[in-house]
Homo-oligomer: A and B are copies of this chain.
Amino acid sequence: MSKQPIPLEQLLVHLPLFKDLSPEKLALVVADGLLEVNAPRGSVLYRRGEPCRGLHIVVWGEVKCTFETRDGGEKVLEVARAGQCLADVVSFVDKPHLVTAEALTDSKLVYMPKAKVLAEMERFPEVARAMVGVLSSRLVDLVSELENCTLRTGKQRVIRYILKHLPQHAAGTQKAVFLPAKKSIIASQLNLTHEHFSRILRDLATAGLIDVRGRQIMISDIATLQARL
């Protein structure tokens, strides 16, 4: 059975950057200058320090954005998923890439050269507004990450991470959190070694605060966990 490729418009209509465009306008955006990028698992989209000439947006898949730490380790800044721009939206300030971007799974992205982004922002104020919204969201995420840095202990950072990933619609006291990435990646995001992260999860489980089943974490009582922060 042969698969029909999905038209790019259908992939893009849900992306935050284009969601306010009418189908007619979106077709105009797609018609010219937008590149599809297929990134097989493990492939590197760009490396830190390379010139940044446009915007990468994840259509599907997972892209890990990292920088090297001084001791030769790798710090995961984030894992970008469907709809997200890659973390270092630096094409507008003429700086090189701040992170290295690598596909964690087979991924599809669209790439918009800087000139195309600016032209579409000028043609369609919806895109300009959405771009500002996307950048603002990224800023909020980064400030929250920075706040995490000021938490002294690894245990505090882990508890905060778990609470942050509670489903928003959840109600009652017992809640399930599904870890959105592999434990080694989350550990890196929290400035912890994999072993330290696992030990903290075990300690929290032993204390009866959580129950860990693979990537699923059941919180026995949210208020009690919050009190440990």
A145 contact set on B, CB distance < 8 A: 146
Cβ-based interface call for A206 (8 A): no
Contact A70 B139 (CB under 8 A): no
Q: Which of B91, B122, B138, B139 is close to A88, meaning CB atoms less than 8 Å apart?
A: B139
- Given contacts A128-B125, A156-B70, whether A143 and B98 have CB atoms under 8 Å apart is yes
Q: A54-81, CB under 8 A of B: which get 1 and which 0? A: 0000000000000101110001010000
**How far is A179 from B48 in the complex, measured between Cα atoms in Å?**
28
Contact B149 A191 (CB under 8 A): yes
**How far is A129 from B91 in the complex, measured between Cα atoms in Å?**
12
A132 contact set on B, CB distance < 8 A: 92, 121, 128, 131-132, 135
Give the interface centre of A92, A95, A121, A149 by most chain B CB atoms within 10 Å: A92
6 cross-chain pairs, A with B, having the tightest CB-CB distances, nearest first: A149-B149, A135-B135, A128-B128, A142-B142, A122-B125, A92-B136
Using CB atoms and an 8 Å cutoff, list the residues of chain A in contact with chain B: 67, 69-71, 75, 77, 87-93, 95, 98-99, 118, 121-122, 125, 128-129, 131-133, 135-140, 142-147, 149-152, 156, 191, 229
